[in-house]
Structure 1
Amino acid sequence: MTVVRFQVAAVAAAFTLCTAMSNPASAQKAYDSGASDTEIKIGNIMPYSGPASAYAVIGKAEEAYFNKVNAEGGVNGRKIKFISYDDGYSPPKTVEQARKLVESDNVLLIFGSLGTSTNGAIRKYMNEKKVPQLFVASGASKWNDPKTYPWTMGWQPSYASEAKIYAKYIMKEKPDAKIGVLYQNDDFGKDYLKGLKDGLGAKASMIVQEEAYDTSEPAIDEHVVKLKTAGVDVFVSITTPKFAAQAIKKAAEINWHPMHILSNVSASVGGVLEPAGFEISQGILSATYIKDGSDPQWNADDGMKKFYEFVAKYDAKANKLDAGVVFGYGAAQTMVKVLQMCGDNLTRDNVMKQAASLRDFAPDTLLPGIKINTAPDNFAPIEQLQMMRFKGKSWELFGDVISSEVEH
């Protein structure tokens, strides 16, 4: 009997060991800097000042969402400590703030930092330090490069994919178009312009005028006038909110009415179209992957009901019409999902492993039919968009949800 009991005990012990080895997260807790039994430190860098300060609402919405999660008990019993710094949309400042977050604040990861050139400035550093640079708030194609930069991942659809969708639309609806492009003279603008040209392919000569502007310019009126003078009848505005609103106003002022396509990053009703003026924004085209907080069609939507309740309770000063608030909520919800998936294994390596294992995850604020999927060789969480036209005081969706993979 003793021998039998010993054998049973040995088998049970072996089984327990195998189970622990196959699921280390459940077997024991594992932490890197920034994580403990009670807390998860998340770093963030936002342009709370400077030419892109319209995006500051994203950081504020994310902070509010984490406050909501903490009020509800946190993530697996741990409270999120969100440390967000201002970089004024200046890459050297971004580098300074990233070093502070990693080396002084000892965050587990940096999440949702905004900007293409700004994130580009810290990408090498984050990967050398092996600290997750997760869900970058920029649509640059380069965030989807897991082989070279395994610690960096984007969140939104790539600018190139979005631009290819517009190219296809222009060729179908206005095959003899004279296209004029106003673009920001940085990685964001250039990535987008390349995507537009790639999408047009052999018809790239349809672009008759390109106007680059620098974020240091107080106004872009002169560029808009040049586009009109060149006989442009399709205006592609690859701009950030401040300059997007200026372009809408100037076009109206000089009585210029081309087909106007606006990049998604500036398709905010509250942040761009309302300040520019609803009357002069009618008919503007864009594409999106998130629901529009100003559109009454979502009033009965379960996801948006949760979003509206969140704004009322945790982010009362926010403008629910601002797409940045909707964006911040969805990105923060995705971040929390990844942390939940990590269980008690809150190492930086496991954070990236779980971020690359998302399957059909649908944050409350994404359009129906659009889901987040990632894999070890796919760091592009969202790859679908739908065209929309501004009408009245909100965007009107039309056509099908388009997978950007089809557009390549």
Structure 2
Amino acid sequence: MIKKILLALAATISVAVHADINIGESVPTSGLAGDTGKALALGASIYFSRINAQGGINGEPINLITRDDGYDATRTLANTRDLIDKENAVALIGYYGTTSLQELIKSKMLDTAGIPLVGAYTGADSVRTPGSAYFFQTRAGYTQEVEKIVALLNEHLGVSRIAVLAQKDGFGEAGYAAVKNELAKRKLTLAGEGWYDKTTGDTNAAAQALAKANPEAIIMVAISKPASTFAKQFKALGGTSQLYGLSAIQFDNVTRQAGLGVAHGIGLSQVFPAPTNAQLKLVREFQTDAEPFLKSGDYPSYALLEGYISARLLTEALKRAGKNPTRASVYEALSNMHHYDLGGFVVDFSDKKRLGSNFVELTMISATGVLTR
């Protein structure tokens, strides 16, 4: 359903042949991470569609060009070169994946082209510090998420035997290091670890190892599908550990793929406000804009909101960049975006900061399949 909507929206946004505000995006719309990648792209498309319906930026529509990278860093780099050199993108938005961002920043492609990237679905320290002056991050880091989870488990619940499930790549390594470092601060060591392959998503060996160790809690440094598979396998093997995951896991995917009986009770850290929190002006507007593109009963996901937020930030920068925005003028506008309140969620790039938000909260999947905070 999301794929069809995304294609239709892309067609709508690209109708104007002479649109000269090209925005580039490389995300996985296929493969293991395809559901989340499509949601990120759809969220951005929804907001750009709203702006285009209002006349665009100074009369020019925004043309979002989305490329599928299949969660493969090599394809991400190739897509980015095309978006910069062939599509003449004025900015990039909403990339996905730690390894992809590591390779992108290492390539210096953003710096060489002088093109800003707004938002990426990763919180690894390796892409944040020092990162790139052209990478404007909208989410808190994995270190901050892990700190929040471990503080809850250890300080408030008295849990000391904590293990980790991690993906074998830059993402998993970043989260694994964050867990080990946070435990070390408390004079604790890992009670077990399990790893799974990024390409296959096979968590069977990890589930067996961690079910055998059966610690008090397991922190899952995983994306949605492998986390779902692991949770099912682990519980089928008799594992009783409390499961917690980072924000890379979309809870609605877990409840759908693992079943509510398995998903109930899984804790997840979040780096954006709840998409259901209508007390926030941002979320109310998001819900209104997203509603026409969701099937009845569909949940407006965190990934959808993340894409939407990145698009709102970039649109504000385009407006501030003046008529006929360039990469340089958009970069300057973003660099001067000090304490910008989107309506209950604040992003701050002042004083050369590129880590726009420190927001983290903990949630849990309830017995009815919704998140509680």
Q: TM-score, structure 2 length as denominator?
A: 0.86
Quick check: 2:214–2:240 contact (8 Å CA) kept in 1?
Answer: no
Quick check: 1:311–1:320 contact (8 Å CA) kept in 2?
Answer: no
For 2:57, the equivalent position in structure 1 comes to: 75
Quick check: 1:259–1:284 contact (8 Å CA) kept in 2?
Answer: yes
- Tell me the CA shift for residue 218 of structure 1: 4.3
For 1:372, the equivalent position in structure 2 comes to: 347
1:125 equivalenced with 2:104 (yes/no): no
Letter aligned with residue 177 of structure 1? S
232-241 or 299-308, larger mean C-alpha shift: 299-308
2:319 aligned to which of 340, 358, 362: 340
For 2:11, the equivalent position in structure 1 comes to: none
1:362 aligned to which of 327, 341, 351: 341
1:152 equivalenced with 2:135 (yes/no): yes
Residues 312-354 of structure 1, C-alpha deviations (whole Å, 9 max, x = no match): 3356699434322122212211221222222237232232222
For 1:393, the equivalent position in structure 2 comes to: 369
2:268 aligned to which of 268, 275, 286: 286
For 1:320, the equivalent position in structure 2 comes to: 299
Residues 114-142 of structure 1, C-alpha deviations (whole Å, 9 max, x = no match): 11111222222222222222322322224
- Tell me the CA shift for residue 184 of structure 1: 1.0
Letter aligned with residue 22 of structure 2? K
- Separation in 2, partners of 1:231, 1:154: 36
1:82 aligns to what SS in structure 2? strand
2:71 aligns to what SS in structure 1? coil
- Separation in 1, partners of 2:264, 2:294: 29
- Tell me the CA shift for residue 173 of structure 1: 3.0
Pairs within 5 Å for 1:170-185: 170-185=153-168
Q: TM-score, structure 1 length as denominator?
A: 0.79
1:135 aligned to which of 115, 119, 122: 119
For 1:41, the equivalent position in structure 2 comes to: 22
1:330 aligns to what SS in structure 2? helix
- Tell me the CA shift for residue 378 of structure 1: 1.3
Quick check: 1:159–1:192 contact (8 Å CA) kept in 2?
Answer: yes
Letter aligned with residue 193 of structure 1? Y
2:228 aligns to what SS in structure 1? helix
Letter aligned with residue 224 of structure 1? A
Residues 195-250 of structure 1, C-alpha deviations (whole Å, 9 max, x = no match): 22222234464312122222122420220120121231211111011111112212
- Separation in 1, partners of 2:264, 2:293: 32
Quick check: 2:161–2:190 contact (8 Å CA) kept in 1?
Answer: yes
Residues 162-221 of structure 1, C-alpha deviations (whole Å, 9 max, x = no match): 112222222213445221101111111111222222222344643121222221224202
For 1:15, the equivalent position in structure 2 comes to: none
Quick check: 1:58–1:327 contact (8 Å CA) kept in 2?
Answer: yes
2:346 aligns to what SS in structure 1? coil
- Tell me the CA shift for residue 101 of structure 1: 0.8
Quick check: 2:263–2:365 contact (8 Å CA) kept in 1?
Answer: yes
Pairs within 5 Å for 1:185-224: 185-203=168-186, 205-224=188-207
For 2:7, the equivalent position in structure 1 comes to: none
For 1:57, the equivalent position in structure 2 comes to: 39
Letter aligned with residue 373 of structure 1? D
1:236 equivalenced with 2:211 (yes/no): no
Letter aligned with residue 121 of structure 2? A
- Separation in 2, partners of 1:311, 1:151: 29
- Separation in 2, partners of 1:85, 1:276: 29
For 2:93, the equivalent position in structure 1 comes to: 111
- Separation in 2, partners of 1:71, 1:317: 24
Larger radius of gyration: 1
Letter aligned with residue 349 of structure 2? T
Residues 231-272 of structure 1, C-alpha deviations (whole Å, 9 max, x = no match): 312111110111111122122222322121111110x23222
Quick check: 2:30–2:70 contact (8 Å CA) kept in 1?
Answer: yes
Pairs within 5 Å for 1:246-257: 246-257=229-240
- Separation in 2, partners of 1:152, 1:205: 34
- Separation in 1, partners of 2:280, 2:94: 26
Equivalences, count: 352
Residues 256-304 of structure 1, C-alpha deviations (whole Å, 9 max, x = no match): 22121111110x23222232222222222122233434x5xx3565433
For 2:13, the equivalent position in structure 1 comes to: none
Quick check: 2:160–2:188 contact (8 Å CA) kept in 1?
Answer: no
- Separation in 2, partners of 1:194, 1:134: 26
Identity %: 19
- Separation in 2, partners of 1:274, 1:181: 23
Quick check: 1:144–1:153 contact (8 Å CA) kept in 2?
Answer: no
- Separation in 2, partners of 1:176, 1:142: 29
Aligned-residue CA RMSD (Å): 2.4
